[in-house]
Amino acid sequence: MPNRPVSPDRAGVKLGAIQGLRAFAALLVVVHHGQAEVAALAERAGLAFAPVAWLPWSSGVDVFFVISGFIIVYASAPFYGRAGGRARFLAHRIARLVPLYWLVSALYLAVALAVPALLNGGPATPGTVAAAFLFWPVERPDGLVLPLYGLGWTLNCEMFFYAVFAVGLGWGRGRAVAWACAVLLGLVALAGTVPGLPTPLAFWGSPIVLEFAFGAALGLARAHGLRLSPPARLALAAAGLAGLAAAGEPDALWRPLALGGPALLLVAAAALGRETEPAGGRWSDRAAAAVVALGDASYALYLVHPFVLRATREAVARLGLAPIIGPWGALALMLAFSVAAALVVARCVEAPLTRAARRRLDPESGHLGPRHA
């Protein structure tokens, strides 16, 4: 029998704070890559630029992974222990992630073939191209285990987690979470103790995948009624930010604790409140709605921002604007253009593609569902 939560969540309710945290995580990644682009621009223009390290900007990925673990448990309520639940779950996951990623990967491949000097990364081969579109980790000719579109490595992790979690869906929520956590922990232990594993197993056995387990456990706790008061959630958020600020750039082995631990605190602060939606009245409500909208567009922001950053860098350099606006002006421009592009892509490209894919893969689904799902 499927597990029954003590205080069930209403199906389809969007957690605004989680969407806001998605926006924060995406912006961390954009700043991380943006500072690298600005450093290259400053070097070309003969300007001084020192990247700031208030936070480990790459930790946006860790926050995303914990959010993913939580959301998969939270949003899968209609599928636990039900006939056809596994197939519908995977259909929704594929519809959510695959269309835009395939489109962006195809665009990257086209640019790489047309103007290879504009992009970073190893040469494309038929094998690496096929593996990228199939979310299968392979070693590229340059020796890195990265897909054609490099930041897609996170999606290779995501799709693996989805596949593992899908196996346990038929056993109910609690057993599904226990199964997924056990598999992830076992694989990390295997990869850490057995040398020479096949590339996919070694890749999926990276300690960072434990952050999905952190989020899944949090999702289970919420499903069983755990809620925190606003002061307690504020304290968790402050502790999470302080933890990230103090973590620096840990090695792969300690990353789940150094970055995943603070990320868990941030996600708990966002997830363990009551369901709310921005009302849209006062300026604070409108600001909250804007943050949630950016959270809705966080997947598009993650996927399209490298194109926008590079295009902005080249435009600023070729127009001779770098000495005028300076490195920080260039970074501000990159961030603004990235956010604008993400909002347009999310609304005009991602949402229609996701709806079409979901209708095709799961005809029983009568609506798009919450964007965070």
pLDDT tier for residue 14 given thresholds of 50, 70 and 90: low
Q: Which residue has the tokens 């009302």?
A: 279
| Mean pLDDT estimate for the chain | 90
Predicted confidence band of residue 275 (pLDDT cuts 50, 70, 90): low
Note the pLDDT tens digit of each residue in 166-198.
999 999 999 999 999 999 999 999 999 999 999
Q: Packing angle between helix 16-45 and helix 322-345, nearest 10 degrees?
A: 150
Say how far apart CA 109 and CA 121 lie, in whole Å: 11
Residue 350 has pLDDT above 90, yes or no: yes
Query: Which CA distances in Å does 241 have to 53, 234, 316?
Result: 13, 11, 33
Which pLDDT does position 112 carry in this prediction?
84
Q: SS3 for 168?
A: helix
**Digit-coded pLDDT (tens) for 292-321:** 999 999 999 999 999 999 999 999 999 999
Q: Cα–chain-centroid distance for residue 303? A: 10
Per-residue pLDDT band for 277 (boundaries 50, 70, 90) equals very low
Query: What residues contact residue 219 under an 8 Å CB cut-off, 6+ apart?
Result: 69, 70, 71, 72, 73, 74, 177, 271
| Range 233-239 average pLDDT | 97
Instruction: Please work out, in degrees rounded to the nearest 5, the angle formed at the alpha carbon of residue 91 by the alpha carbons of 169 and 138.
Output: 90
pLDDT of 369 over the 50 cut:
no
